[in-house]
């Protein structure tokens, strides 16, 4: 047996990789805390020390990707130190970029197209239900989605498992091993832990308020009743356990006074907010399209135009109707302030302003705007981008890819024979399949990809910095894996497949042409027998084909 084939060596390498990933998570947790407060030298020292440990671990355990990232982060933090703890717009943007890259290394399967990423950290989810057979079935379904899950059948098994290894999350029946036992057991499990484990309570029947109150006091973050379905459960676990993507708020400052604009910029940068300053208000619309800010800070009085005039121009564009506009001015006349806010503004801050007041106002307004935008641009069933917004993202990504000379691929997917699912099993089952595929795509595509529900059972995916060969390979792997998921149904369990068409941006194609070409490729995949991925440049003969369903599987 060669050294590379030695299973013990492979297990050891995997263990080392997990040690490095644990340290990466520590850095990301510190960074997440910094996003919620004004940074201090103590905070940055803690971040620097954690990064130094990552550098040592990555070097010792031969993890070159993490080692390079730790070096880059170290250089950025040294630049902050050299600047006496002040963060320029360029530095905050660079550190955030590095943290985003770090959060994508080995933390979720399929985050990168290349096969060089580290294996994901697979802490198990403990499933403790009164009905152990149901727990076993649920655990198997969670495994289909790439999650490690373990069904536990007794209090003793649960306690032994907790001693052996802390889980990523716990799904606990309130009546596990007896009425109310699950509530007490979960509360005991959290005692003495430095960090609470995400806890989801379950009850087969609807419960009363005292029971739900006891669940909250035991540390429960979710309370589920009725039917436990793997894809919706996984969605909740994802929200509670995944390391957040660090997407800092972006603020566009429009002020003809360079000194005032730079002062505002420094205050916001010190709180980890990315800014861009515009001295010429006439350039505002072009800057908005390129920067896509979460919020605009606008001076009231400028030579080229007034703030209220510019606010009206901005509001004329439907894309920026919901972007908050905050006036920042020395104007202290209350009537004039109210008039300005009635002309497209959302708030009025008077100079001079305390840094904490400015930072808190910006954060709160930006957070609410993001939440509102998410509701406007996302599909209610799946949480994916809706038809209009995914096409807008395709247009934005096409513009950026052309400017930077990078590849861009676009794909359209359609669930095969979906009408049969609705006709045979009802629309609730159809919704489950749609939500299942949405979650499956989110699990296996990169965070940098954009996924939308194009309509009905059809999906669209924008894949920046991806050529057609890489896109085809990833989508075909997803297609094969999705076909393995089954949905409990009568008289037989249900299996589903999907077909896809994928296209790469060319010099001649714009976003509308790409959408049309991907749709044509999808049509060819359907016409050639379904359950395949068809590239826009492929012939029908070269399309990937999966074996026909057997009699034991429902062909949908």
Res 536: pLDDT: 84
Assess whether 150 and 268 both reside in one domain: no
- Mean pLDDT rounded to a whole number for the chain: 81
Res 416: pLDDT: 93
Res 549: pLDDT: 34
Closest by CA to 323, choosing from 299, 351, 350, 291, is: 291
Answer whether residue 5 is part of any domain. no
Between 242 and 549, name the one with better pLDDT.
242
Q: What is the band of 115 on the pLDDT scale with cuts at 50, 70, 90?
A: very low
Assess whether 444 and 368 both reside in one domain: no
Alpha-carbon gap, residue 144 to 265, rounded angstroms: 47
Q: What percent of the chain clears pLDDT 70, i.e. is strictly above it?
A: 84
Assess whether 533 and 507 both reside in one domain: yes
313 CA to centre of own chain = 32
| Domain boundary, last residue among 376, 409, 436 | 376
Q: What range defines the domain where residue 465 resides?
A: 387-542
Answer whether residue 116 is part of any domain. no
Assess whether 72 and 171 both reside in one domain: no
Assess whether 533 and 400 both reside in one domain: yes
Assess whether 332 and 282 both reside in one domain: yes
List Cα–Cα distances, 543 to 124, 287, 475, 479, 534, in angstroms.
38, 43, 13, 13, 5
With a cut of 50, say whether residue 543 has pLDDT above it: no
With a cut of 80, say whether residue 222 has pLDDT above it: yes
Q: What is the band of 10 on the pLDDT scale with cuts at 50, 70, 90?
A: low
| Residues classed as catalytic | 457
In the chain, the number of structural domains is 4
Assess whether 395 and 510 both reside in one domain: yes
Assess whether 459 and 500 both reside in one domain: yes
Average pLDDT over residues 283-294: 87
Res 555: pLDDT: 34
With a cut of 70, say whether residue 396 has pLDDT above it: yes
Instruction: Give 167-205 pLDDT, tens digit per residue.
Output: 889 999 999 988 889 999 998 888 878 778 889 999 988
Assess whether 59 and 150 both reside in one domain: no
Res 253: pLDDT: 94
Average pLDDT over residues 410-423: 92
Between 538 and 146, name the one with better pLDDT.
146
Instruction: Give 45-103 pLDDT, tens digit per residue.
Output: 888 888 898 888 888 877 888 889 899 998 888 887 777 656 666 777 788 778 877 87
Res 550: pLDDT: 31
Average pLDDT over residues 252-268: 89
Average pLDDT over residues 460-478: 93
Alpha-carbon gap, residue 168 to 197, rounded angstroms: 7
Assess whether 265 and 298 both reside in one domain: yes
Average pLDDT over residues 538-555: 37
With a cut of 50, say whether residue 120 has pLDDT above it: no
Alpha-carbon gap, residue 392 to 320, rounded angstroms: 13
With a cut of 80, say whether residue 280 has pLDDT above it: yes
Between 556 and 391, name the one with better pLDDT.
391
List Cα–Cα distances, 182 to 201, 481, 550, in angstroms.
8, 34, 42
Answer whether residue 2 is part of any domain. no
Answer whether residue 172 is part of any domain. yes
Task: Provide the CATH number for the domain around residue 400.
Answer: 3.30.70.270
Between 19 and 113, name the one with better pLDDT.
19
Res 386: pLDDT: 92
Instruction: Give 357-393 pLDDT, tens digit per residue.
Output: 999 999 999 988 887 887 788 887 888 899 999 998 9
With a cut of 60, say whether residue 554 has pLDDT above it: no
Average pLDDT over residues 223-250: 72
């Amino acid at each position: 047996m060669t050294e590379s084939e030695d299973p013990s060596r492979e297990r050891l390498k995997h263990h080392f990789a997990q040690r490095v990933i644990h340290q990466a998570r520590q850095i990301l947790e510190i960074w997440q805390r910094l996003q919620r407060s004004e940074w201090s030298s103590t905070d940055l020292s803690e971040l620097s020390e954690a990064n130094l440990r990552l550098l040592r671990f990555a070097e010792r355990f031969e993890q070159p990707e993490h080692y390079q990232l730790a070096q880059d982060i170290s250089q950025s933090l040294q630049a902050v130190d050299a600047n006496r703890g002040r963060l320029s717009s360029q530095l905050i943007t660079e550190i955030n970029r590095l943290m985003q890259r770090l959060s994508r290394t080995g933390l979720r399967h399929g985050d990168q197209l290349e096969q060089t990423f580290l294996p994901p950290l697979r802490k198990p989810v403990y499933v403790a239900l009164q009905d152990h057979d149901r727990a076993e079935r649920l655990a198997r379904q969670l495994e289909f989605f790439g999650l490690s899950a373990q069904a536990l059948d007794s209090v003793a098994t649960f306690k032994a498992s907790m001693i052996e290894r802390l889980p990523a999350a716990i799904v606990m029946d309130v009546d596990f091993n007896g009425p109310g036992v699950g509530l007490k057991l979960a509360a005991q499990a959290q005692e003495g832990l430095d960090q609470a484990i995400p806890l989801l309570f379950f009850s087969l029947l609807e419960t009363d308020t005292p029971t739900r109150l006891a669940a909250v006091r035991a540390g429960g973050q979710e309370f589920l009743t009725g039917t436990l379905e793997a894809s919706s459960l996984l969605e909740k676990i994802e929200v509670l356990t995944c390391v957040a993507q660090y997407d800092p708020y972006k603020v566009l400052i429009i002020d003809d006074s360079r000194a005032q604009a730079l002062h505002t910029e420094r205050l916001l940068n010190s709180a980890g907010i990315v800014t861009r300053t515009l001295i010429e208000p006439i350039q505002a619309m072009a800057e908005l399209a390129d920067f896509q800010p979460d919020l605009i800070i606008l001076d009231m009085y400028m030579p080229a135009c007034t703030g209220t005039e510019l606010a009206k121009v901005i509001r004329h564009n439907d894309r920026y109707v919901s972007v908050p506009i905050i006036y920042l001015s020395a104007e202290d006349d209350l009537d004039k302030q109210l008039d300005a806010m009635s002309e497209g503004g959302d708030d009025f801050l008077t100079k001079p302003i305390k840094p904490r007041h400015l930072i808190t106002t910006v954060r709160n307004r930006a957070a609410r705007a993001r939440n509102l935008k998410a509701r406007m641009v996302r599909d209610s069933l799946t949480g994916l981008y809706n038809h209009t917004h995914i096409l807008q993202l395709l247009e934005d990504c096409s513009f950026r890819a052309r400017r930077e000379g990078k590849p861009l691929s676009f794909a359209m997917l359609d669930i095969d024979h979906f009408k049969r699912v609705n006709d045979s099993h009802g629309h609730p089952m159809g919704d489950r399949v749609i939500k299942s595929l949405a979650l499956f795509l989110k699990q296996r595509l990169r965070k940098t990809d954009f996924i939308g529900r194009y309509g009905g059972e059809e999906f669209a995916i924008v894949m920046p910095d991806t050529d057609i060969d890489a896109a085809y390979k990833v989508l075909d792997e997803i297609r094969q894996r999705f076909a393995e998921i089954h949905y409990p149904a009568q008289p037989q369990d249900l299996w589903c497949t999907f077909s896809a068409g994928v296209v790469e941006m060319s010099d001649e194609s714009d976003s509308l042409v790409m959408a049309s070409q991907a749709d044509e490729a999808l049509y060819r995949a359907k016409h050639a027998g379904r359950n395949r991925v068809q590239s826009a440049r492929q012939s029908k003969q070269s399309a990937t084909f999966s074996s026909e369903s057997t009699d034991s599987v429902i062909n949908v």
